[in-house]
Amino acid sequence: MAGTSTAPEDRGGDMSQDDRPDAATKAFLAHRNLLFTVAYELLGSAADAEDVLQETWLRWAGVDLDAVRDPRAYLVRITTRQALSRLRTLGRRKESYVGPWLPEPLLTTPDVAEDVELAESVSMAMLLVLETLQPTERAVFVLREVFDLDYDEIAEAVGKNPAAVRQIAHRARAHVAARRPRGAVSQTESRDALKAFQRAVETGDLQRLLDVLAPDVVLLTDGGGIKRAALEPVMGADRVVEWLGRISPTVSMEPAQANGHPALIVRLDGEIETVIAVRVDDGVITGLYAVRNPEKLSHMKRETALRR
């Protein structure tokens, strides 16, 4: 692979003499946000999704465009194959990861929240559900349920026949349905729960904190062995409150939109220290996801556009 070649967004595009992007560059840029979203939903890692886009570009740049009937489908196919290959490598990496592994949070543009299905599919809670699928199951589920590709297109992308893809889709759908959040939660409901949580933490009001947490709430903290974090899930409201009591009073909290949902950015001396996302069911917080690994926080400094 020609490792020195960079994707169009990194080098301004392959420009012809009249300063117009060539056909390959135009097609890639037209679908770039979609391709990033596909890769991110398959990997849960923005850094790895960016690498997949780089690999997709390298392959796309060498394709005979006259033989391509549908550039979007072709690019999605390349991206899916590259993401599946990387997903298997990621699985081995996660086995040696220190403590719980959480997806890399994204500071998302406002339109992501407006697309309810897209926002649900990239939520921290859903990405963790997708982590319980096998790589091919995950790809089939995402391509079918989120991006509405037909079974023939998915079969091309994952290297299976359409009949097998239908069976995989059915199995993956049932698996996800048994584990996904119990019902649709409005942005307002999530924002209210998070606001009450923030107020309780900032004031040290333990009773108010217990009121906003479900009795069986689970806290996952991802420090990646770099930042202090619980090495196992913290389960139950009392234990979660005890753990949250260790938060330094010198930090500041600010609301943000992460992965299409309300979240909190925790700063220390102006720098992002933690991103907290939540899962809300029936008006109370049932899941808390605190990403502290600094290697996973760079995409909270600028907005990321996601597309279907």
Structure-block tokens of residue 111: 């339109």
Structure-block tokens of residue 125: 């809670």
Structure-block tokens of residue 276: 């907290």
Structure-block tokens of residue 164: 């097998």
Residue 284 backbone phi and psi in degrees, to 5: -125, 160
Where the chain has pLDDT below 70, the residues are: 1-5, 10-21, 182-183
Q: How far apart are CA 277 and CA 98, in angstroms?
A: 20
Q: How far apart are CA 181 and CA 94, in angstroms?
A: 24
Q: What is the pLDDT of residue 88?
A: 87
Under DSSP, is residue 291 helix (H, G, I), strand (E, B) or coil? strand
Looking at domain 23-97+133-178, its CATH superfamily turns out to be PhyR, sigma-like (SL) domain (1.20.140.160)
Structure-block tokens of residue 123: 């939520």
pTM: 0.92
CATH of domain 187-300: 3.10.450.50
Q: How many CB atoms lie within 10 A of CB 36?
A: 22
Alpha carbon 150 to chain centroid, angstroms: 23
Q: How far apart are CA 121 and CA 194, in angstroms?
A: 20
Q: How many CB atoms lie within 10 A of CB 122?
A: 26
Q: What is the pLDDT of residue 257?
A: 96
Q: Quick check: do 23-97+133-178 and 187-300 share a fold?
A: no
Q: List the beta bridge partners of residue 268.
A: 271
How does pLDDT run across 60-100, given as a tens digit for each residue? 999 999 999 999 999 999 999 999 999 988 888 888 999 99
Domain range list for the chain: 23-97+133-178, 187-300
Q: What is the pLDDT of residue 19?
A: 47
Cβ neighbours for 236, distance < 8 A, ≥ 6 positions apart: 215, 216, 217
